[in-house]
Chains A and B, each alone.
Chain A
């Protein structure tokens, strides 16, 4: 019976071809292979976000009067509401962390070289969208911290010369952070950003399938036969194992450290002293804190910093076209150095912003985990590990 149904669909959709592609697909096996799992890990957290976000929409009310209360309702009245909301918040952060680790691993392994320029660019754009998800989602509980962080965040956009005023009004849906801002952020968070992400993610995944996994130049140069493992089932099962672990970590974090709701936003109350953005904006926030008031060539210092961040982002986006030597010779130590500098800056500034060492420890732990598991992979015998 099941086979017959399967054949019926196969005749109409051509699943056999898809299966054939999956069976043929292989994944290179070498000491840097563990980094291949980070993209899938990001995708896993994204799927969790879609699932839990859809559930939260059933009870959440996007208005200044009701937003905070509706989340209170979710947390206290709805069965497992606290869990779903906590998972949504934790998974959002783990997703950005996984995406950042994915980005830097791709950068250091030079996977952006031809023909994978578009894969890099779509991935980079998705990370920016993910940060947009984070920024818009942060305001939705309508608590004090989020309210003032959004005020500051949107104000920063206002310092940009010429277009600043327009951008602020566009972001806020008015002159001030108000209920209009909340409706607007909600629209971005649940409709516009998901639509854009779905498109770019689809393209990103198609490109990954089209080109296969990139083998780092350092591995390509090594003599001897190249090793690989089958995607189905060897790589996929390892992926699933990783996802199961991630789900365990996520559930533990969500249950043991439930995400706080805080106090309801009061536009007529003074800003709290502990105001801070999400950790992935901390490096930028800390940099802005260090900038003295004043102006450079008639542009406010803050605007200069913002423009510099924008320029660095644009350069990052265009790396595949800037790094010509890696396409020619497979070597581009200058870009490796720039990557290390960028990573050190981000980690260092984040640590400074929190006055804590954990950002440094996390960065080292991720690097060490990738390095050690890569060593373990190639030290075993056989084609697959």
Chain B
């Protein structure tokens, strides 16, 4: 065995030490890498149909708003003006609380830290850093369908 730089022979002990260190190191990596990868959960595409039946017109008109399930997350459906509906994700962009409609201010309100969004989903007051993600609303007779924009 020869050292690459100086060309001098490597003592047998040193060679064996390096050989062992490389082997053990490789083996350790071969075990740790799959374990580390296994630990990080895979990104799962949510199995949500493109369209969700969010509610009935009469039902939403009564209170002016409704929370509905959009896959595993809540969505909020609001009657902006009679017959005109808006839908957003109901997850506050601040710390993830579920928002609600505030009749008094006619805005979307997050009770956790007093954040406000207007009826276009824009963050207008309080801590929320971003607007709410909007969904597309389709009214078909009595049924209100919501789909991801």
Binding site for B on A (CB under 8 A): 51, 55, 58-59, 77-81, 83-84, 244, 247
Contacts and interface: CB of A to CB of B under 8 A. Distances in A.
A55 B42 CA distance: 14
A59 B40 CA distance: 11
8 contacts: A51-B35, A58-B39, A79-B34, A79-B37, A79-B40, A79-B42, A80-B37, A244-B27
B38 interface: yes
Contacts of A80: 34-35, 37-38
A78 B42 contact: yes
A78 B27 contact: no
B41 interface: yes
B8 interface: no
B44 to A, nearest CB: 7
Contacts of A247: 27
Contacts of A83: 34
B110 to A, nearest CB: 32
Contacts of B44: 77
Nearest to B23: A244
Nearest 4 A-B pairs (CB), nearest first? A79-B37, A80-B34, A77-B42, A80-B38
Given A78-B41, A80-B35, A80-B37, 16 more contacts: A55-B35, A55-B38, A55-B39, A58-B38, A77-B42, A77-B44, A79-B34, A79-B37, A79-B38, A79-B42, A80-B34, A81-B38, A84-B35, A84-B38, A244-B27, A247-B27
A107 B42 CA distance: 48
A247 B31 CA distance: 10
Contacts of B40: 79
A79 B39 CA distance: 8
B39 A84 contact: no
Contacts of B35: 51, 55, 80, 84
Question: Residue among A58, A80, A84, A244 with the most chain B CB within 10 A?
Answer: A80
A52 B42 CA distance: 18
A80 B35 CA distance: 8
B24 to A, nearest CB: 9
A370 B120 CA distance: 78
Interface in B1-47: 27, 34-35, 37-42, 44
Question: Residue among B38, B39, B41 with the most chain A CB within 10 A?
Answer: B38
A244 B20 CA distance: 13
Nearest to B44: A77
Nearest to A77: B42
Contacts of B39: 55, 58
